[in-house]
């Protein structure tokens, strides 16, 4: 079969789908509707292709590399939005919270960043913090700007919207860096237009909506990744 196009930058994928099975049959875990897993070789080092659950089953949204996750080699994940004060710190805090709930804090390294530098050093937006606090989640990060070396260091870079993803793609110097970039809503069971909306200029309802989107997407992302954890 022909490999799928990159949704952010047209290029060829350097993998061959040797076997197609309904996810997550290559490993055990929670099934995420609408996803397939293209397995290249053994149980690890394969590529997981995400399929939009509301579109035809041959519409592949994105794929990303997978590997075994151990205490010795924790999985590094970076959430990225524009300014790193609303959406991505919320995603970082929510994902960290879920990881701790599942007792997996030794298996993940979690960070966030912004493609812009306007808010570097600032804490998360007060409205984002208020909503998170209502759910028992603290947003402790300080804003920083994403740099090209992040794409080498992190196993997965999770963009909040298509513009963020395009900016990250422009920073990539290797094909393998591009393959690490996904949209958070690739994992959303109700992905809408694929973007986590920026609530910066809106009211509390917008921040509540963002939190709900981020929470369910992070839950699905962690359920996907934790099947690769080797205790």
Q: Which residues are catalytic?
A: 81, 87, 198
- Separation CA 8–CA 23 (nearest Å): 24
Characterise 41 by phi-psi region: left (phi > 0), alpha (psi -120 to 50), beta (else): left
Task: Give the DSSP letter string of 149-207.
Answer: HHHHH-SEEEESSHHHHHHHHHH--SHHHHHTEEEGGGG-SS-TTS-----TTS-HHHH
Spatial contact of 71 and 147, defined as CB atoms under 8 Å apart: no
Question: With b meaning 16 or more CB within 10 Å and e meaning fewer, what string describes 165-181?
Answer: bebbbebbeeeebbbbb
Residue positions counted in the chain: 231
- Separation CA 11–CA 9 (nearest Å): 6
Torsion of CA 116, 161, 12, 32, to 10 degrees: 140
- Separation CA 189–CA 175 (nearest Å): 28
- Separation CA 6–CA 4 (nearest Å): 7
- Separation CA 145–CA 17 (nearest Å): 36
The dihedrals phi and psi of 137, each to the nearest 5 degrees, come to -120, 130
């Amino acid at each position: 079969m022909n490999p799928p196009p990159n949704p952010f930058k047209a290029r060829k994928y350097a993998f061959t789908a040797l076997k197609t099975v309904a996810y997550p049959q290559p490993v055990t875990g929670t099934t995420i509707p609408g996803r397939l897993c293209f397995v290249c070789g053994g149980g690890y080092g394969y590529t997981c292709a995400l399929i939009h659950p509301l579109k035809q089953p041959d519409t592949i949204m994105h794929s990303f590399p997978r590997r075994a996750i151990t205490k010795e080699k924790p999985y590094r994940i970076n959430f990225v939005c524009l300014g790193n004060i609303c959406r991505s710190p919320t995603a970082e805090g929510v994902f960290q919270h879920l990881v701790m709930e599942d007792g997996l804090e030794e298996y993940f390294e979690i960070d966030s960043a912004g493609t812009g530098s306007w808010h570097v050093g600032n804490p998360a937006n007060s409205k984002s913090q208020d909503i998170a606090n209502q759910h028992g989640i603290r947003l402790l990060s300080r804003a920083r700007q994403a740099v090209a070396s992040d794409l080498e260091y992190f196993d997965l870079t999770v963009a909040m919207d298509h513009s963020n993803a395009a900016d990250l793609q422009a920073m990539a110097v290797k094909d393998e860096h591009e393959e690490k970039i996904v949209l958070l809503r690739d994992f959303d069971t109700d992905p809408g237009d694929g973007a986590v909306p920026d609530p910066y200029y809106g009211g509390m309802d917008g921040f509540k909506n963002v939190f709900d989107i981020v929470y369910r997407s992070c839950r699905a992302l962690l359920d996907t990744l934790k099947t690769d954890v080797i205790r």
